[in-house]
């Protein structure tokens, strides 16, 4: 069964800094099915990046996704106050959906 491992578990950064979040799969993942979500406290997850590198509607261009195979990255170029949240990667394969454990981006 395919597993997604996100690292780090928590990262402490200041507004304006760059955040680099990793998502590693236990098997090769199709880029078409690698997705990133943002979840702010008390809110439902929100689609950020789909197909590994495509920003969803309304997502600012400071969010970027990259990667292929088993290694994927979400980059936030300059953190805004509203970006401090939990980020999840997710993959779809063989009719199954799997989420990573999440990375918390907290204010330093």
Partner 1 sequence: QLQLQESGPGLVKPSETLSLTCTVSGDPISHSHYWGWIRQPPGQGLEWIGNIFYSGSTHYNPSLKSRVIISIDPSENRFSLNLSSVTAADTAIYYCARWGISWLGESFDYWGQGALVIVSS
9 binds partner 1 (CB under 8 A): no
Nearest to 21 by CA among 33, 35, 10, 32: 10
CA distance 7 to 50: 19
**Phi (first) and psi of residue 65, to 5 degrees:** -120, 145
> Is residue 84 part of the contact set for partner 1 (CB under 8 A)?
no
The C-alpha atoms of residue 98 and residue 14 are separated, in whole angstroms, by: 30
What is the footprint of partner 1 within residues 29-68 (CB under 8 A)?
A: 31-35, 37, 43-47, 50-52, 54, 56
Q: Which one of residues 58, 61, 81, 96 is an interface residue with partner 1 (CB under 8 A)?
A: 96
Which residues are near partner 1 by CB under 8 A? 1, 31-35, 37, 43-47, 50-52, 54, 56, 88, 90, 92, 95-102
């Amino acid at each position: 069964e395919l597993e997604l491992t996100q690292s780090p578990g928590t990262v402490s950064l200041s507004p304006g800094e760059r955040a680099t979040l990793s998502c590693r799969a236990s098997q090769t993942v199709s880029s078409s099915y690698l997705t990133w979500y943002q979840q702010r406290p008390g809110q439902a997850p929100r689609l950020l990046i789909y197909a590994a590198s495509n920003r969803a509607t309304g997502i600012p261009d400071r969010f970027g996704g990259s990667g292929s195979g088993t290694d994927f990255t979400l980059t936030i170029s300059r953190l805004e106050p509203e970006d401090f949240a939990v980020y999840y990667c997710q993959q779809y394969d063989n009719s199954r959906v799997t989420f990573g454990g999440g990375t918390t981006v907290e204010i330093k």
